[in-house]
C-alpha cells in the first residue's frame, strides 16, 4: 500500500507544494509546529534515514540542498531547523523518510 507521501507525489492527495525537482518534493505540513513548517520528501521511498543505502547518497544530499533553496526563497536568513525522525521512539508517523524544515519562531534547545 502506498504511503501518504507516495500518494501526494502521485497527486492523488492534494498538498501545498513549495518546491519540486527530480529527486524530491517540498510541501507545507498540514499540522505546522512553527510558522514555517515544510516537509522535504524524496520521490524514491526510503522508509527511514537509518535504512538508506549508500547508492542513495545523491537523493539524500538533494534533500539538504532543497532545504537551502526553499530557505532562500522564503527569506529564512535568521535561521531554520532541519529535523529527521527515525523510528517510533522519535515520533516517526509516516514510514517514508522526510525532513522537517521549521522556522520563523525561536526554537528551543535541547529539542524535544
Tens of pLDDT, residue by residue over 54-95, are 999 999 999 999 999 999 999 998 999 999 998 888 888 888
> What's the pTM value of the predicted model, to 2 decimals?
0.94
Question: How many whole angstroms separate alpha carbon 90 and alpha carbon 9?
Answer: 24
Query: Nearest-CA neighbor of 102 among 86, 68, 79?
Result: 79
Distance of CA 20 to the CA centre of its chain: 12
- Answer yes or no: are the C-beta atoms of 57 and 112 closer than 8 Å: no
Residue 1 has pLDDT above 90, yes or no: no
Higher-pLDDT residue of 91, 17: 17
Which residue matches cell numbers 549508500?
54
Note the helical H segments in 26-85: 57-73
Domain map of the chain by residue range?
4-103
- 4-103: which CATH architecture? 2-Layer Sandwich (3.30)
- Answer yes or no: are the C-beta atoms of 38 and 28 closer than 8 Å: yes
Annotated catalytic residues are: 98
Question: How many whole angstroms separate alpha carbon 86 and alpha carbon 96?
Answer: 10
- Reported as a single tens digit per residue, the pLDDT across 27-62 is 999 999 999 999 999 999 999 999 999 999 999 999
**Quick check: helix, strand or coil at residue 91?**
coil
Residue 99 has pLDDT above 80, yes or no: yes
Residue 112 has pLDDT above 80, yes or no: no
Amino acid at each position: 500500500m502506498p504511503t501518504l507521501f507516495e500518494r501526494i507525489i502521485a497527486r492523488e492527495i492534494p498538498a501545498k507544494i513549495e518546491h519540486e525537482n527530480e529527486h524530491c518534493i517540498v510541501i507545507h505540513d498540514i499540522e505546522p509546529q512553527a510558522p514555517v513548517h515544510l516537509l522535504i520528501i524524496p520521490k524514491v521511498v526510503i522508509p527511514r534515514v537509518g535504512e538508506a543505502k549508500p547508492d542513495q547518497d545523491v537523493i539524500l544530499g538533494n534533500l539538504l540542498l532543497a532545504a537551502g533553496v526553499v530557505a532562500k526563497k522564503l527569506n529564512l536568513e535568521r535561521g531554520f531547523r532541519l529535523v529527521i525522525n527515525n523510528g517510533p521512539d522519535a515520533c516517526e508517523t509516516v514510514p517514508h523518510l522526510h525532513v522537517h524544515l521549521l522556522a520563523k519562531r525561536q526554537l528551543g534547545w535541547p529539542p524535544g
